Amino acid sequence: MTSDHSGFTPTEREDHRSVVARKKREQMRARILAAMMDLLSDRANVSTSIEDVVNAAGVSRGTFYKHFTSLDEAFVAVGREVTDQMTLGILPIYDVLTDPVQRVSTGMRLFLTRALSDRRWAGFVLRAELVPHESVLLDYLMNDLRAGAYEGAMDFEDLQAAADSVMGATTEGIRTVLLGRTREPRQYIDNAIRITLRGLGVDKARALEATAFSRSYLMAHASGAVDHWATVP
């Protein structure tokens, strides 16, 4: 098979074009989602329309509809993308842990601590659906709760209710940190984690230990976490 002046064979040229086209689609999709995040993270924006999004992204409505069928679909997509990127980014710190109680404590602390250092991100998660129906974050949380119950470290009757209690406490914790509803945010984070663990049936001593563990553990890895947060939406 011969090549043309570009150096590609016809098959290679077609593959190259497909790769370039895919990258352009991904870049445009990311541009739209970034614009949505900027709009949603601004608490002054009471509502957001497709017109707002296309203007912020500098694209046409037609371009928007090439990527999303509706504003709701884009809304869920950006929520999933942000939480998945956050979750995947913290895995080097979080996923090396084997104790399910320590994992829940550390996971909550990572999200609540980011709210202290990244107001744009915190503002977004309060406007978006923090955990879509399917997400990497929810998968990991469910697995940790199952493991905690299996080992007898946690005691709850309904897995979904347990997951909702963790995510509800995390979301409201982010709100409290962002809005300055506590004068001692780090102490508040400790209390929120400990109370949530107790609600999952963790005994008092272990809840205290896991809360202290996640505090010291994150302090030891803080620079890596903050560096990562600075590079993701």
CATH number assigned to the domain comprising residue 125: 1.10.357.10
Q: How confident is the model over 49-93, as pLDDT tens digits?
A: 889 999 999 999 999 999 989 888 887 777 777 777 777 777 888
Q: Report residue 118: phi and psi, to 5°.
A: -140, 85
Q: Per mean pLDDT, which of 17-31, 183-197, 209-223 is the most reliable?
A: 183-197
Is 112 exposed, middle or buried, given 0-12, 13-18 or 19+ CB atoms closer than 10 A? buried
Q: Return d(Cα 225, Cα 169) in angstroms, integer.
A: 21
Note whether 131 and 154 are same-domain residues.
yes
Report the SS3 class of residue 156.
Answer: coil
Assess if residue 166 is contained within a domain. Answer: yes
Name the nearest CA neighbour of 167 among 191, 148, 200, 141. 141
Report the SS3 class of residue 202.
Answer: coil
- Of 18-22, 131-135, 209-213, 219-223, minimum mean pLDDT range: 131-135
Note whether 57 and 141 are same-domain residues.
no
Note whether 101 and 187 are same-domain residues.
yes
Instruction: Using the 3D structure, point to which of 32, 49, 68 is the last residue of a domain.
Output: 68
DSSP E strands, the chain: none
Domain of residue 50, residue span: 10-68
- Bigger pLDDT: 37 vs 231: 37
Which pTM was predicted? Answer: 0.72
Note whether 98 and 182 are same-domain residues.
yes
Contact 33, 81 (CB under 8 A): yes
- The residue whose two tokens read 């553990």 is 217
Assess if residue 4 is contained within a domain. Answer: no
Q: What mean pLDDT do residues 217-228 have?
A: 70
| Cβ atoms < 10 Å from Cβ of 74 | 21
Note whether 121 and 211 are same-domain residues.
yes
